[in-house]
Amino acid sequence: MQTNRIGGIWFFSLFILCLTLSRPAFAFEWELNLLGESRKARALHLITSTYSPKVRAQKVSTHERNDCKIERYHVVGRDPVDKKDRTIRIASYRTHGAVAQKRAVIIVPSIVGTTLLENWYADLFCRNEVRALVIENIERDTPVDVSIASYDRAALRKLAAIRHLAEFLYSERYIRVGVLGTSQGALAASLALGVERKIKAGALIAGGGDLAEIVADSTEQSQAALREQRMKAFGYRNRDEYLRALKEQIVINNLDFVGYTGFKPVWMSVVRGDTVVPTRTQMALVKALKPKRVVYYDGDHVGGIIKTYFVSSPAIVDFFRAAL
């Protein structure tokens, strides 16, 4: 019996080896399913196998003000999904003249895109001698569709964009780099904070942990519409079935990468009563990250985000000046 068992193991190992040598990509996916590879391992393979750090940048305009210089750049890097060049359009805010320490913060907007809020933060950073890069547009950063797999594609694109901007800053000798994100931008920022070693600190505003939990219960208009479409298209009978499908099919989860490149200083704002990014998911991110400072605001999603700026933005600037 022992001989048969050894023979079976030998044959199975030889089969895996031949499959891997003949069709590496297929074999990798097959092995993951057969051997029960963790979700984090699959996500890590997706992230590392699709990312290229090479970037090039072109300045397209400059606007001089008394307090700040506002420059717009096109930063070009490889799209992690289609492997073609894609452009990230940014606004760079920086102080005139030399600064004592070259600090910079990448500002990642919410699902609605760049608003006055991101520009207000950038202005404030600039006046306090911290360079700010506001993401204005990411080429081919299209909204998710009815396919649940589109969440991983969107995550790869947003993560690569943040990492490419960190590369751009390093090329300009800004090695003290932080990231600030709001709502969906905070979700992407928390993932970048975990994955990218060049990012040293983060401020996360109304951002949650575990995308599947957020998608299953969010009252945000587009997510609610997609939930209804998927229920009909795929025959999910209730919320629990839908959540189970999301957890099975979404590979990239920000909570899996907390501390992956070391625990870093984090500042967080939590909105109690939030239904767009449910408060329990924000608390899950707090529990995982163990931030240096957490502030709480009552109200809805947008109200909490606005309160954070008007009440806590000076504290956010102070946090980055100390952490970077």
Helices and strands (DSSP H and E) totals, the chain: 11, 9
CB 117 within 8 A of CB 306: yes
Q: Is the pLDDT of residue 103 over 90?
A: yes
Q: What's the pLDDT band for 28 if we cut at 50, 70, 90?
A: very low
Average pLDDT, the chain: 90
Percentage of the chain lying above the pLDDT 90 cut? 82
Q: Is the pLDDT of residue 51 over 50?
A: yes
Instruction: Report pLDDT for 32.
Output: 42
Give the residue among 229, 246, 225 at the shortest CA–CA distance from 151.
246
Give the residue among 177, 181, 184, 182 at the shortest CA–CA distance from 154.
184
Interval 95-119 mean pLDDT? 91
User: What are the pLDDT digits (tens) for 2-16?
Assistant: 455 555 545 554 554
H or E element in which residue 298 lies: strand 293-298
Interval 213-235 mean pLDDT? 95
Instruction: Report pLDDT for 15.
Output: 53
Instruction: Report pLDDT for 243.
Output: 96
Interval 282-292 mean pLDDT? 97
- Please state which of the four CATH numbers 3.40.50.1820, 3.90.25.10, 3.40.50.2000, 3.20.20.80 is assigned to the domain occupying 53-323: 3.40.50.1820
Q: What is the Cα–Cα distance from 134 to 188, expressed in whole angstroms?
A: 14
Q: Is the pLDDT of residue 26 over 50?
A: no
φ, ψ at 295 (rounded to 5°): -115, 150
